[in-house]
Structure 1
Amino acid sequence: MFLKRCLQVVFLFVCLASSLAFGQHVGGITLRDLDGKVVKLSSFDKKLRIIVFLSPECPLSQNYSLVLNQIQEQNKETTDVIGIFPGTSYLPKDYQAFKEKYKITFPLLTDSAKKLVVKLDAKVTPEVFLLDVNDKVIYSGAIDNWVIDLGKKRSKATAYYLSDAITSYIQSKPVDLVSTKAVGCYITDL
């Protein structure tokens, strides 16, 4: 009984540590769209928000663009997918070319000061954070298990972490897996 209670306390601590700190809301963070207009994340007001960090030159960001478009389409009534380009390594034309080449259907924003990167403790692209309307992180990490490690992939995904978390939340069920390790290109400015 004591061990079970200790494990419950540890689990609760891990859950709290993986969510945003008390009073820290991403909704007020100011970003810019690809036209340079100021956008606040709070302007996206669906039941869920998927924040996905991307890089125009990251092969995994490119490869996952179709999956992210599909997730946006399948969940458009309840979920906003928001692509974030962190840092200042690229020009607006690079972001626009990425959007056009990969036919991105969801909004793309820039986080040149990396305020959102720091707030969510993002490390790689593509890395996702599923947030509820109160900015609570429900799930963070990889989109699915297609990528095992850099340069090492399965022929197809067999576990759909992000989609499963969305489905569980929408159905008012607990999200079984709240965090995974995202594999991708490191977020950095060269």
Structure 2
Amino acid sequence: ELPGTDGKQHSLSDLKDKRVVVVAFTCNSCPYAVDYEDRLNQLAQKYAAADSAVAVVAINVNKAEKDALPAMIERAREKKFTFPYLYDESQQIARDFGASRTPEFFVLNADRKIVYMGAMDDDATGKEIKQHFVADAIAAALAGKLPETKETVPIGCNVRYERTRRTKR
């Protein structure tokens, strides 16, 4: 379970009725992640109906002060996020997914298998988008198929994982 900017605890099991789940690893501090906020919000709005087969969640994994939960709450209000914005303080969820950048998107099918990972689209600026990787993966997963493109290289800032100290053996 992860705490959200809505004051609630969230878990993937909360979304068991959804046929597709989009998990976006993002943050407040990366300029690329900020550039994608409006597109992420639009994607979430498209599937906002309670009976929608698709859920969109965003997870902030960074430890910087401007990425801590209080700053996330402020950001979610300011940008009017329509999706759960969760804080992975332990960074374990991001490690489990293998997230390396912010933003980085993962599309999970009904069996909760990752069918797509990488960039949302092919233009970080949003001005000349030709390929909508996440939207295409959602459509494929809803049809019970695999997307044509299963992985792309995400463009963004490195996830700032805390280093763990090795224990002596």
What letter matches 1:110 in structure 2? Y
Rounded Cα–Cα distance in structure 1 between residues aligned with 2:126 and 2:39 = 15
Q: Could you say which residue in structure 2 is the equivalent of 1:34?
A: 5
- Is 1:82 matched up with 2:60? no
- For residue 107 of structure 2, give the secondary structure of its aligned residue in structure 1: strand
2:31 to 15, 34, 59: 59
Question: Which structure has the greater CA radius of gyration?
Answer: 1
- Deviation track 1:42-63 (CA, whole Å, cap 9, x = no partner) reads 1123111111011111122222
Residues 165-184 of structure 1: matches in 2 within 5 Å?
165-184=137-156
CA distance in 2, matches of 1:154, 1:67: 8
Q: Which runs of 5+ in 1 are unaligned?
A: 1-29, 148-152
The within-5 A match list for 1:1-190 is: 30-34=1-5, 37-45=8-16, 46-76=18-48, 77-89=52-64, 90-147=67-124, 153=125, 155-188=127-160
| Residue 179 (structure 1) shift | 0.5
Secondary structure in 2 aligned to 1:83? strand
Instruction: Provide, for residues 1-45 of structure 1, a one-character-per-residue CA deviation record: whole Å limited to 9, x for no partner.
Output: xxxxxxxxxxxxxxxxxxxxxxxxxxxxx2111255432221123
Task: Work out the CA distance in 2 between the residues paired with 1:104 and 1:64.
Answer: 12
Q: Cα–Cα, structure 1 residues 154 and 63, in superposed 2: closer, same or farther, change >3 Å?
A: closer
> Which amino acid is 2:58 matched to?
G
RMSD of equivalent CA atoms: 1.9
TM-score by length of 2: 0.83
Residues 47, 132 of structure 1: 8 Å contact kept: yes
Runs of 5+ consecutive residues of structure 2 not aligned to the other structure? 163-169
Higher relative contact order (CA 8 A, sep 6+): 2
Give SS of 2:138's match.
helix
Looking at structure 2, the residues matched to 49 and 183 of structure 1 have their Cα atoms a distance apart, in angstroms, of 21
Identity of aligned residues (%): 26
